[in-house]
Structure 1
Amino acid sequence: MLKANNKLGIIFFPAFDWAISPTHPERQERLLYTQDQLREEGIFDIEGVEEYKPDVADIEDVERVHFCFPDVNSVTTRSHRISAGGAMKAADLVMTGERDCAFAMVRPPGHHAMKVVHGSRGFCNINIEAVMIEHIRETYGHKRVAIVDTDCHHGDGTQDVYWHDPDTLFISLHQDGRTLYPGSGFPQELGGPKARGRNINIPLPPNTSDEGFLMAMERVVMPILEDFKPDLVVNSAGQDNHFSDPITNMNFSARGYAALNEMLKPDIAVLEGGYSIQGALPYVNLGICLAMAGVDYSHVREPNYNPDQIKQDDQTTAYIEELCRQLPKLYFDPPAFDPKGDSRQGVISGNQFIRHKQIYYDTDGINEVQQESLTLCDKCRGLYKVETRADSGPLCLGVEIPIDACPDCKSKGYQLVEDGLIKGGYRYVQLINRKDKDYVRYGF
């Protein structure tokens, strides 16, 4: 009998009762084929690999991360909360020491869900990795966390949630946003003024194969992780970089994904995208599981795999080599924040960082406009405020008091909520007080 070098927990949640439509790429078969493949390959016969059932995230688990308008129940289903609960289960297995590492193979995905949620975008309603990470911090104490997002689409939601958090490093490897949804994820997107360089984007050209991904991992991701010294490493494990994926243009293989995870050694992996339901996901998931368990994955081979056919050309290799030379500087020596710079990146007015955003929820067809502000406080990471309106609907207010809030920012946070309730003209007001674990919402 094979024995895992690392005790691995696997959590399945195919979400039988949730789909955007019966034929949509994001449907339950994404995990059913994987489930069959893992059982056929005998992965649960490996000593040290165990399967677990997901938990269900509570409303409060979502509300410590997101401003959901009008409320959590309006923008999620029970399946969304079980998906987040599956990620939380993976975290608990690792944090309690029951498992060395864990892989939450759950759906619906989450990495396009931003700080504010009015509906679904990029097939995502709530950010399941962020819900998991903040559950860890609330339950086990504050941790430095590195998220490495390997989905083909830029993790714009995770980037947005952690834009101002110096204790969360977000690195996204993805197909260049000039060629793929959501059209973001460029190197200059480095994080807010108090978290500069904590957001690193690696936009790879179409047709990047194993060579390019592993080069970026070796030359960019791993040196940054070594310097950041996270308490936990999370792989936001999207699999739509695969050469057979129907909605992307990359040439990554199942064995390449396994090699990436062998290099990364994530404590927790959480499934994101991946829509080659039969040709890729069963094999990619198998490779990731074996790599996380520390078991040989050299026999993993998907149908139609021909390394010569998917090999990247010399021009692509040269482009990625140059990226790898330039990108580490953005973490190790990030350029100073320009207080009068691009309004999409934010500007500084007095002691306030202000950023205007227009967001389109492509899945639900919703347009949102918002203004966020962050108090640039010398004593804590600052009071966060967001005013948001979707499709000319009611104006809503969100206020977040940070986990390390000083007395002034805490007092001002409650004052903002009180003023908003009395004279602000807001239909919905939500407070996230991470300092005192106080999560309150008001509706009129």
Structure 2
Amino acid sequence: MLEAKNRLGIVFFPAYDWAISPTHPEREERLLYTQDQLREEGLFDIDGITEYKPEVASHEDVERTHFCLPDVASIATKSHLISAGGAIKAARLVMEKEEEKAFALVRPPGHHAMKFVHGNRGFCNMNIEAIMLEWIRETYGQKRVAIIDTDCHHGDGTQDIYWHDPNTLFISLHQDGRTIYPGTGFPKDLGGPGALGKTINIPLPPGTSDEGFLHVVDHTILPILEHFKPDLIINSAGQDNHYTDPITNMNFSAQGYALLNQKLNPDLAVLEGGYAIQGALPYVNLGICLAMAGVDYSGVREPNFNAEALRQPQKVTDYIKRLSAETRELYFNPPRDKMKGEVSEGFFVRHKDIFYDTDGISESQVESVMMCDNCPGVLKIESWSTVNPLSVGIEIPIDACERCHGKGLQLFEEAQVKGNYRYMQLINRRDRQYQQYGF
């Protein structure tokens, strides 16, 4: 009998009752073929690989991560809460040492959901990795964490949530935003003033195959991880870089995904995108599960796999080598003069316009973070959209200094007195207080 070198927990939730539409890429069938494949291949007969049922995330789990307008209930269905709860279950298995690693094979996905949420964008209503990570920090204390997003689309939501967090290293490996949604994720985007260099974007050209992805892992991501020394590594495991995916333009294979996972050696993986329901997901998910468990995955092959036909052109290889070296340098020596924003009364301020492609919502924001040498700084976001009036969210970080803690409480009190905000929300991580007015 095969035996896993690493005890692996697999949390499975295909969300049978939720889809954007019956024919939308993000629909129920996404994980049904995977479920059949894992069972047919005898994955759960391997000693050390165990299947688990998800938990249900609470509204408080969401509220410690997101400012939701008008409230969590209007943003998240039961399926979304179970998807996030599946990620939390995976984290609980690892943090309680019941398993050494865990993979949350859940949907709906979440990495396009930003700090403020007005609706669905990029198939995402709430950020399940961020909800999981903030549950870990709430339960087990502050952790130094690396999130490696291998989805084909830039993880702009996760980037937004952790833009000012020096304790979270976010690396997004994705198809160049000049060629695909959401049109973001460029090397010059490196994080806020207190977390500069903790956001790393690696936009790869269309047609990148296993060679290109693995070069970036070896020459950029692994050296950065070695320097950052995270307590936990999370793989935001989107699978739409696969060569059969219908909405992307990359040439990654199931073998490549498995080897990438082996190299990254994540503690936790959470499924994100991937829309080749029959041609990719069953094989990629199987490869990732075997790699996480430390079991031989060399026999995993898609039926139509042809390595030679997928080989990337030499000009793509040359470009990726230059990009890899430049990106690594940006982490170790981030240029402060490239930050977008302005300093006003002790705050670093930036203005953002955000489009929700799925729901057709346009949002504008003014984001202000307090400049502080002792903590990440209190965060204030004023937000308004085509579906919600001017509202405000204020976050006091979990490791806030006394100055920022006091300033955050003051800003929330002032917001209530002014009366010009329809909704007001306080995320007070230091005191574990989550307050709302106008809801």
Normalization by structure 1: what TM-score? 0.98
Q: Structure 2: 5+ residue runs without aligned partners?
A: none
- The residue type equivalent to 1:427 in the other structure is R
Q: Which amino acid aligns with 2:357?
A: D
Stretches of structure 1 lacking an aligned partner (at least 5 in a row): none
Distance 2:253 2:185 in 1: 23
Q: Contact between 1:395 and 1:425, CA under 8 Å: does it hold in 2?
A: yes
- The 2-side partners of 1:194 and 1:408 are apart by 16
In the other structure, the counterpart of 2:430 is 435
RMSD: 1.0
For residues 343 and 73 of structure 2, the distance between their equivalents in structure 1, rounded to whole angstroms, comes to 35
**Would the alpha carbon gap of residues 392 and 131 (structure 1) be closer, same or farther in structure 2, given more than 3 Å must change?**
closer
Q: Kindly provide the amino acid, as one letter, of the partner of residue 256 in structure 1.
A: G
The yes-or-no answer on 1:275 pairing with 2:237 is: no
Give the deviation of 1:423 after TM superposition. Answer: 1.4
1:77 aligns with 2:72: no
Please give the alpha-carbon distance, in whole angstroms, between the structure 2 residues aligned to 1:327 and 1:411. Answer: 37
The CA distance in 2 between the partners of 1:64 and 1:164, in whole Å, is 16
Q: Please list the CA deviations of residues 97-117 of structure 1 after superposition, one character each: whole Å capped at 9, or x if unmatched.
A: 000000000000000000000
Q: 2:419 & 2:110 partners in 1: Cα distance?
A: 31
Rounded Cα–Cα distance in structure 2 between residues aligned with 1:378 and 1:214: 37
Quote the sequence identity (%).
69
Identify the match of residue 358 of structure 1 among 344, 353, 362. Answer: 353
Is 1:324 paired with 2:329?
A: no
Distance between the aligned counterparts of 2:166 and 2:438, measured in 1? Answer: 32
Report the Cα distance in structure 1 between the residues aligned to 2:214 and 2:90, rounded to whole angstroms: 26
Contact 2:69-2:388 within 8 A present in 1 as well: no
Q: Is the 8 A contact 1:9 1:101 kept in 2?
A: yes
State the Cα distance separating 1:392 from its structure 2 match: 6.6
1:127 maps to 2:127? yes
CA–CA distance in structure 2, aligned partners of residues 393 and 80 of structure 1: 21
Query: 2:305: which partner in 1?
Result: 305
State the alpha-carbon separation in 1 of the partners of residues 352 and 381 from structure 2: 10
Deviations 1:128-163 (A, max 9, x none): 000000000110111100000000000000000000
Residue 335 of structure 2 aligns to a residue in which SS? coil
CA 1:213 to 1:380, structure 2 compared with 1: closer, same or farther past 3 Å?
same
Paired with 1:271 and 1:289, the residues of 2 have a C-alpha distance of: 11
- 2:118 paired residue number: 118
Structure 1 SS opposite 2:11: strand
Within a 5 Å distance, the mapping from 1:259-270 to structure 2 comes to 259-270=259-270
Superposition deviation, residue 292 in structure 1: 0.3
Per the TM alignment, residue 406 of structure 1 is displaced from its structure 2 partner at its CA by 2.1
Report what 1:9 is aligned to: 9
| 1:7 to partner: Cα distance | 0.2
- Partners of 2:268 and 2:337 lie apart in 1 by 32
Quote the Cα distance in structure 1 between the aligned partners of 2:19 and 2:431.
37
Instruction: Write the deviation string for residues 256-313 of structure 1: whole angstroms up to 9, x where unpaired.
Output: 0000001011000000000000000000000000000000000000121111111101
1:410 is the counterpart of 2:405: yes
CA distance in 2 between counterparts of 1:4 and 1:433 reads 41
- The aligned runs of 1:220-235 (5 Å cut-off) are 220-235=220-235
Kept after mapping to 1: 8 A contact 2:118/2:387: no
C-alpha distance in 1 between matches for 2:121 and 2:171: 21
**Alignment check: 8 A CA contact 2:377 2:404 kept:** yes
Matching of residue 65 in structure 1 with residue 56 in structure 2: no
* TM-score, structure 2 normalization: 0.99
CA contact (8 A) 1:387 1:397 kept: yes
**Retained in 1: the 8 A contact 2:7–2:293?**
yes
1:420, 1:442 → 2: CA distance?
10
Is it true that 1:380 corresponds to 2:370 in the alignment? Answer: no
| Structure 1 partner of 2:197 | 197
CA drift of 1:198 comes to 0.2
Aligned counterparts of 1:240 and 1:50: Cα–Cα separation in 2: 26
Q: By how many angstroms is 1:408 displaced?
A: 2.4
Q: Is the 8 A contact 2:194 2:372 kept in 1?
A: no
Shift of 1:407: 2.2
What's the secondary structure of 1:7's corresponding residue?
strand
Instruction: Give a deviation string over 1:219-260, Cα, whole Å, max 9, x none.
Output: 000000001000000000000000000000000000000000
Q: Which residue number in structure 2 is paired with residue 292 of structure 1?
A: 292
Question: Aligned residue for 1:96?
Answer: 96
Distance 1:276 1:406 in 2: 47
Letter paired with 1:79: S
Q: Does the aligned pair in 2 maintain the 1:11–1:104 contact within 8 Å? A: yes
- For the pair 1:367 / 2:380, whether they are aligned, the reply is no
Displacement over 3 Å in runs of 4+: none
1:398 corresponding residue in structure 2: 393
* Cα drift, residue 37 of structure 1: 0.1
Q: What is the DSSP-based 3-state SS (H/G/I as helix, E as strand, rest coil) of the residue aligned with 1:5?
A: strand
Structure 1 residue 412, shift from structure 2 partner: 1.9
SS in 2 for 1:327: helix
Aligned residue number for residue 206 of structure 1: 206
For residue 336 of structure 2, give the secondary structure of its aligned residue in structure 1: coil
**Number of matched residues?**
439
**1:406, 1:267 → 2: CA distance?**
30
SS at match of 2:185: coil
Displacement of 1:326 in angstroms is 1.0
**What amino acid is aligned across from residue 195 of structure 2 in structure 1?**
A
| 2:424–2:437 contact (8 Å) kept in structure 1 | yes
Q: What is the letter of the counterpart of residue 289 of structure 2?
A: C
Is the CA contact (8 Å cut-off) linking 1:193 and 1:337 kept in structure 2? no
**1:337 shift after superposition:** 4.0
Task: Say which SS state the counterpart of residue 292 (structure 2) adopts.
Answer: helix
- Residue in 2 aligned with 1:164? 164
Distance 1:16 1:433 in 2: 35
Letter of the structure 1 residue corresponding to residue 431 of structure 2? D
Q: Is the 8 A contact 1:196 1:337 kept in 2?
A: no
Q: Residue 393 of structure 1: CA displacement? A: 3.6
Which residue type is aligned with residue 189 of structure 2? E
Give the letter for the 2:238 counterpart: G
